[in-house]
Amino acid sequence: MRLSTFSDYSLRVLMYLGAQPDRLATIAEIAAGHGISESHLMKVVHQLGRGGFIETVRGKGGGIRLALAAKDIGLGDVIRHTESDFALVECLAGSTTCRIQGACCLNAILDQAVKALFLVLDGYTLADLLVNPQGLIPVRPCNA
């Protein structure tokens, strides 16, 4: 199983904002720091805003910031919001053409594994990722 790039970027945005809670950040600065397309990051920020994780301030001097305290942003909640499919195999998705569905136990085991993943993720918050906040702010190379 692999998290999508969308989830990876979502977590990066949240860590960036959490590392600097007293200021507004811009999509452009986050994109430049992480080497991410601004247009792709706009979609990420929009989705995080819809999920209530961040808020935007419009106008001159505007930007984005966390909408909640870092301790109140659960990692499991973020991943549930940013990922669309946790069916590791076809039969977990509901519709299947599997010819061994009635005899196979793999779906139950994989379902248990996904639940275990979220049990772990639900035990952590964004605050747990902010142990070294200054290290979470990427430094742009001098020639960039």
DSSP string, the chain: ----HHHHHHHHHHHHHHHSTTS-B-HHHHHHHHT--HHHHHHHHHHHHHTTSEEEE-STT-EEEESS-GGG-BHHHHHHHH-----SSGGGGS----TTTTT--HHHHHHHHHHHHHHHHTT-BGGGG-SSGGGGSPPPPTT-
The predicted structure's pLDDT at residue 91: 67
pTM of the full predicted structure? Answer: 0.86
- 142 in any annotated domain: no
CATH of the domain at 58: 1.10.10.10
Asked, for residue 53, whether it belongs to a domain, the answer is yes
Task: Let me know if residue 143 belongs to a domain.
Answer: no
Residue 32, in any domain of the structure: yes
> pLDDT tens digits, residue range 3-44?
899 999 999 999 999 999 999 999 999 999 999 999 999 999
Encode pLDDT of 89-133 as tens digits. 766 666 667 777 777 788 888 889 989 999 999 999 999 999 887
- The answer as to whether 19 is a domain residue is yes
The count of domains in the chain is: 1
| 141 inside domain | no
- Among 50-54, 83-87, 89-93, 105-109, which range has the highest average pLDDT? 50-54
Q: What is the mean pLDDT of residues 77-89?
A: 86
54 within domain boundaries: yes
Whether residue 144 lies inside any domain: the answer is: no
Q: Domain limits at 51?
A: 5-136
